Structure 1
Amino acid sequence: MIDFDRVTVHYADHGEPPLRDVTLHIPEGELCLVAGRTGTGKSTLLRAINGLVPHFTGGTLHGTVTVHGRDTRSHPPRDLADVVGIVGQDPLAGFVTDTVEEELAYGMEQLALTPATMRKRVEETLDLLGIADLRARPLRTLSGGQQQRVAIGAVLTNHPQVLVLDEPTSALDPTAAEDVLAAVTRLVHDLGVTVVVAEHRLERVVQYADRLLYLPGDGTVVDGEPAAVLTDIDLVPPLIELGRVAGWTPVPLSVRDARRRAADLRQRLTSAGPPPPRPAPDAVPVLTARKIVVRYPGTVAVAGVDLDVHPGRVVAVMGRNGSGKSSLLWALQGSGPRQGGTVTVTGPDGTADPASLSATRARRLVGLVPQSPADLLYLETVSAECGQADREAEAPAGTCRAMLDHLVPGLPADHHPRDLSEGQRLALVLAIQLTAAPSVILLDEPTRGLDYHAKQQFAAIVQRLAAAGRAVVVATHDVELVAALADRVIVMAQGEIVADGTTTEVMLSSPAFAPQVAKVLAPQPWLTVDQVTAALTRPGPPA
């Protein structure tokens, strides 16, 4: 179905080629997972499948990419539209209509399908992805996760033979991600669709994959069965790390397989004692919000929420897509809509409501990294953005650049921010906001597009900020990040807080938000591989 024959892709002035002499074959009806660190060439590989590389992105392609017998050099993307469907990292950038139903039908209109066929496929796709209630909604009013499901649906209505997905679950809550992956798996198993997925959250996809393509960053591609490839690489999900700590061979790819082997490990952990509790918070909050209300036409996004955030603490806000997480963060930051309630934040210059201050003064109280980080980038190079961040924050020169190197080392200073991958742009905006070191830092899906190593670096930076007395609020669907980082978890639904407690309390009581380690070792209170490793290496009591 898909053949790469000695393919090399090179971009002018971009250093080493992201793909070098790549030869591989992906047969019909396989789910192929593409993994690798941020910026190693995953998106380039995906875009080569439908001819976006080099017809749209530029650069030089040597070798041959053949899809369903068509050479992408002589067949640009428009000539492959009936065969290949592709969903990029930024769904909103790919929309061409105004409403959900129109977007689902647009591709079929370009293929000249009959109205009856289009109507039938639209209804099937609305039900398949669970978005029937959104059919008349304007696309720009949807949450990031809802937009992502619509983008996938707009491709599925064309019934492509090859489906290419770039970070398809990055903005989805755990339940929605499982629903989307179940739908994709049905396409593979029941209809023989070939699916190629690039995903950083391997824990969500690897158990469904028939093969794994790993890009180590030197232009080559390691091709093999998932269990075999994951044995020899360091970019692995928590379940694989747990298997290595426990000495399981071969490593398990699913929670079910791991639980079958976990009896001995549970016994060893029982003897080691429970993980130590996290310290209690400071008594005086740095941010106090009361009766926050945010309304949009026809929707109450935040319904009278009360929230206290303490210095030195990391609070995770979780909940399904559209539950009000982002609206709450924007209301706390001050520049978003707020129809009711009060917010007070204590900073070096006193206590104030960020909404009542100028943008410069408010930023010293509360910093926000939005879901679409590119909205905050406006200069010509990475270096210029970092320099401007240093000046606005009155920080020593090089502060922002050093922060960026902790997240994605080696990002070229002369690259245009719009030419970066989604993960690289996110890291740049995160570094810009952290440079100002405000009293409260709000992060909306901060790890979207980041690989495991970059997430570890991000977590280390957030922990240092918390240790220095900063308060951090993270709205995220990344349960593994929350398990490792958060002191407290808040779960929202329909604009209200439905759960609020310590990370252990909330995550162990909710199957939807439990990390992989908790699912394997339940009912024991373990959340992360680091906790398990520390317990197993803890010295025993003296004889």
Structure 2
Amino acid sequence: MIHFDQVTVRYEDTAEPVLRDVDLTVEEGELCLVVGHTGVGKSTLLGAVNGLVPHFTGGTLHGRVLVDGRDTAEHPPRELADVVGVVGQDPLDGFVTDTVEEELAYAMEQLAIPPATMRKRVEETLDLLGLADLRHRALYELSGGQQQRVAIGSVLTAHPRILVLDEPTSALDPTAAEEVLAAVTRLVHDLGVTVLLAEHRLERVVQYADRVIHLPGDGRVVCGSPAEIFRTSSIAPPIVELGRAAGWDPLPLSIRDARRAAAPVRARLAGTAPAPVRPVPAAAPAELLKARGVTVTYQGVPAVRAVDLHLRGGEVTALMGRNGSGKSSLLWALQGSGPRKAGTVHIPTAGGGKDADPQKLSAAGARRLVGLVPQTPTDLLYLESVQQELDQADSESDAGTDSPAAREILDRLAPGIDDATHPRDLSEGQKLALVLAIQLSAAPRVLLLDEPTRGLDYRAKAELIRIVDDLAAEGRAVVISTHDVEFVARAADRVVVMAEGDIVADGPTGEIIVASPVFAPQTAKILAPLPYLTVAQVASALPDDETDRAR
């Protein structure tokens, strides 16, 4: 179905090819998982399947890519649209209509599919992805996860034989992600659709893969069974990392298989307490934000319902909940930029003065109290170079603060970024670091991050955890809205869960996420009822001879 014949792709501004001498065949009805660190060429590999590379991206492609017998060099993307459906990382980039129903029908209109067939497929897709209640909603009104499901649905209605998905679950809550992946798996098993899927959250998808395509970063592509590739790969989900630490052979790829293999490990760890994921503060933390009765509505529809929330310095709080539960609306209301129908937000000011409400301050004044990084960091980047963005941040910061310059903060978060680089040419992790530097230049004591792990691989997430730990150590309160349960297990002291605008759970990370089968990380599921959350906790508790053997 897909065949790469000695394919090399080189861009003008790179010293080495992104892809080098790639020989690869993907058969009909296979689900292939594409893995690798950020920037190794995964998007280039996917883009070559429907001709976006090099027809629209530029660069030079040597060799041949055959898709259902068609050479992509001779058939541009529009001539492959009936065969290949593509869903990119950012769903908003691909939307061309105004409402959910119109977007689902658009691709079929371009392919001249009869109206009766179109209507039937729209209804099937609405049910398949749980979008029936949203059919008449404007796309811009949807949450990020809802937009992601619409983007996938708009491709599925055309019934492509090949489906290319670039991080399809990055904006989805765990339940929605399972529903989407189950739908994709049904397409593979029941209809013989061929799927190429790139995803950083491997813990969600590895059990569905027939084969893994690994890009080590030197231009090569290594293909094999999941167990074979993950035995030695530099990137792996927690379930594989745990199997390596425990010395399991073969490596399990599903929770069921891992629990069967983990019985001896559970026996050895019984009666031992795991090391704390984050250091315990020496003194009682100060309260930095107190919200009471915060209510947010949109056109009369409540998004946040009379929420009370207290944030303390040195504490990292994870804000979780399904898509559309009100997480982003709450963050914007706390920061002061978003609408707030009722309620109060009080933040102590420097010097012990009267508490301030960020909504009643100027934008610059609110930013000095509460910094917010939105789901798409580029929303805050509008200048032509990194240096211009940093200079603008410094000029808008209060001259009286003791905060270091934005450049100094950026060098600590992500060293080596050139001043002349255009912000939109940065990697996802670098964009996040730049926006963090801009926000921290105003020295806010409360920092709110909305879905910061989207587009980040495991290595970049580990770096983000280091950054968050440093911010908490400085006495700041950090709130992270996320669907990434593995990140929460490693980064958060406290978890707050929202549902339909209400806070339904609030407590220590271990208590909240282990109690929920939806939010529990893989390690907790495998070792339950033991209170272990991360592979690092398990590795530190295992006897030295076992960890040495695993290495």
Quickly name the TM-score band, shorter chain normalised: over 0.9
Q: Deviations over 1:405-431 (max 9, x none)?
A: 26xxx6565443334454543343334
Q: For each residue in 1:146-168, what CA deviation from the matched residue of structure 2 results, as whole angstroms up to 9, or x when unmatched?
A: 00000000000000000001110
Deviations 1:86-116 (A, max 9, x none): 0011101110000000000000000011111
Instruction: Identify which range, 418-427 or 195-204, moves more after superposition.
Output: 418-427
Shift of 1:271: 4.0
Please tell me whether residue 300 in structure 1 is matched to residue 302 in structure 2.
Answer: yes
Q: 1:517 to 1:299 in 2, by over 3 A?
A: same
Aligned to 2:170: 170
C-alpha separation between the residues in 1 aligned to 2:301 and 2:543? 51
* CA-CA distance at 1:62 after TM superposition: 1.6
Q: Secondary structure at the match of 2:414?
A: helix
Please tell me the residue identity of whatever aligns with 2:509: T
For 1:374, the aligned partner's letter is T
Q: How does 1:189-208 map to 2 (within 5 A)?
A: 189-208=189-208
Contact 2:523 2:533 in 1 (8 A): yes
1:288–1:397 distance in 2 versus 1, CA, 3 Å: closer
Q: What per-residue deviation string (whole Å, max 9, x for no partner) do you get for residues 128-182 of structure 1? A: 0111111011000000000000000000000000000111000000010000000
The 5 A counterparts of 1:465-480 are 465-480=471-486
Give the whole-Å Cα distance in 2 for the aligned partners of 1:365 and 1:52. 44
Closer/same/farther in 2, CA of residues 293 and 259 from structure 1, 3 Å limit? same
**Structure 1 residues 139-178: aligned runs within 5 Å:** 139-178=139-178
Q: Deviations over 1:273-300 (max 9, x none)?
A: 3545974783541001111111012521
The alpha-carbon distance between structure 1 residues 284 and 401, as it changes in their structure 2 partners (threshold 3 A), is closer
- Alignment map for 1:348-427 (pairs within 5 Å): 348=350, 350=353, 351-389=355-393, 392-393=396-397, 395-396=404-405, 398-405=407-414, 414-427=420-433
**C-alpha RMSD of the superposition:** 2.0
TM-score (norm 1): 0.95
Show the counterpart of 1:273. 273
Report the Cα distance in structure 1 between the residues aligned to 2:48 and 2:59, rounded to whole angstroms: 11
Write the distance in 2 (CA, Å) between the matches of 1:458 and 1:227. Answer: 28
Q: Which runs of 5+ in 1 are unaligned?
A: none
Q: Show CA shifts across 1:180-202 (max 9, x none).
A: 00000000111010000110001
Q: Distance in 1 between matches of 2:344 and 2:45?
A: 49
Residue of structure 2 in register with 1:253 after alignment: 253
Distance 1:386 1:241, change over 3 A: farther
Match of 2:133 in 1: 133
- Whichever residue aligns with residue 50 of structure 2, its letter is N
1:36 alignment partner in structure 2:
36
Confirm or deny: 8 A CA contact 2:316 2:493 kept in the other structure: yes
Distance 1:139 1:436, change over 3 A: same
- Is 445-454 or 21-30 further displaced after alignment? 21-30
The aligned residue for residue 188 of structure 2 is: 188
Alignment partner, residue 96 of structure 1: 96
Q: 1:483–1:515: 8 Å Cα contact kept in structure 2?
A: yes
CA contact (8 A) 1:399 1:435 kept: no
Count of residue correspondences: 536
User: TM-score scaled to structure 2, two decimals?
Assistant: 0.93
Distance 1:416 1:30 in 2: 39
SS of residue paired to 2:21? strand
Provide closer, same or farther for how the CA distance between residues 397 and 158 of structure 1 changes in structure 2, counting only shifts above 3 A. Answer: closer
SS at match of 1:511: coil
1:535, CA displacement in angstroms?
2.1
* Alpha-carbon distance in 2 for matches of 1:421, 1:77: 25
Q: CA deviation at 1:238?
A: 1.0
User: How far is the alpha carbon of 1:391 from its aligned partner?
Assistant: 5.2
Return the offset for 1:320. 0.3
**Does structure 2 retain, via aligned residues, the 8 Å contact 1:346–1:439?**
no
